[in-house]
């Protein structure tokens, strides 16, 4: 994890979420900003995983379509 450059971000959140962030920070012995950073990283990884899943599902559908087309073409070749 990079410790160098940082950007400041000011956010307003619900009191319950603030308490949860503060509690997690206290239990982990880290700053609240670290808890928020980790949460954003976790969200981003989940978002990227969902995009990858979607892409792989599309590729699988395309692969099935391509395979069926190739099999049909091979069958046509056998008819000659």
Report the predicted TM-score, pTM, of the whole model to 2 decimal places.
Answer: 0.58
Instruction: Give the domain ranges of the chain.
Output: 15-78
Q: How far is CA 29 from CA 3, 19, 23, 25, 33, in A?
A: 17, 15, 10, 6, 12
- 44 sits in the region (left: phi over 0; alpha: psi -120 to 50; else beta) called alpha
pLDDT tens per residue, range 14-60: 999 999 999 999 999 999 999 999 999 888 888 887 777 777 777 77
Q: What tokens does 17 get? A: 């979420």
Closest CA to 21 of 3, 7, 6, 33: 33
**Better-predicted residue by pLDDT, 73 or 43:** 43
Cα separation, 8 vs 50, in Å, equals 28
């Amino acid at each position: 994890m990079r410790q160098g450059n940082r950007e400041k971000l000011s956010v307003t959140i619900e009191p319950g979420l603030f308490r949860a962030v503060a509690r997690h920070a206290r239990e982990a012995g880290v700053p609240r900003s670290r808890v928020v950073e980790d949460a954003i990283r976790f969200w981003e990884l989940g978002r990227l995983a969902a995009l990858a899943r979607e892409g792989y599902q599309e590729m699988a559908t395309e692969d099935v379509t391509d395979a069926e087309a190739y099999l049909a073409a091979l069958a046509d070749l056998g008819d000659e």
